[in-house]
A and B are shown apart, each in its own frame.
Chain A
């Protein structure tokens, strides 16, 4: 399978603990995105990378959140001192800037990582 993969799929953690999610994008894609989705809502943009550079961060991404993409391939999203309000599905997506004029910036999602903070 050469799609976007995320790990772990589910994580239950106690409030105050740190958690880290990993995303492996589609191999030829140079852009990588993180979104958060809560029940009944569409995905909310958190941040995106072009290669290893983090080009934009949402105001939703508080200082407890940090994302990295050190070699321009896989990415990690770490949440420190988790709070119950962090409970959500964290979605990773990737895209390529090749041929954008014909296909738009279409992004492809992984299956998501569910976080439950108790």
Chain B
């Protein structure tokens, strides 16, 4: 399974946009890019996923580089409730139910 690289931690101010980067230089053509987040003492929560095109949903946006070797999760207006560990995970087309988690990025949101 291809690996991802994320910064260990990031800080943001409340109500400002947050851009969480992820590098996945060994991504294969059929790997989906998934983002999950884990709030303290909870199970991971699905945020967004994409294959080639940028994606938007009510939680966030996902910007995927043209060569697909990197992506960015965008939270448009961070709130204190967005403080969590964010995981960028590659999921093979044939292994959707099998996620390999890295260390993720711990996002701190300051009031």
- Are A and B part of the same complex? no
Interface residues of chain A, those whose CB is within 8 Å of chain B, are: none
Interface residues of chain B, those whose CB is within 8 Å of chain A, are: none
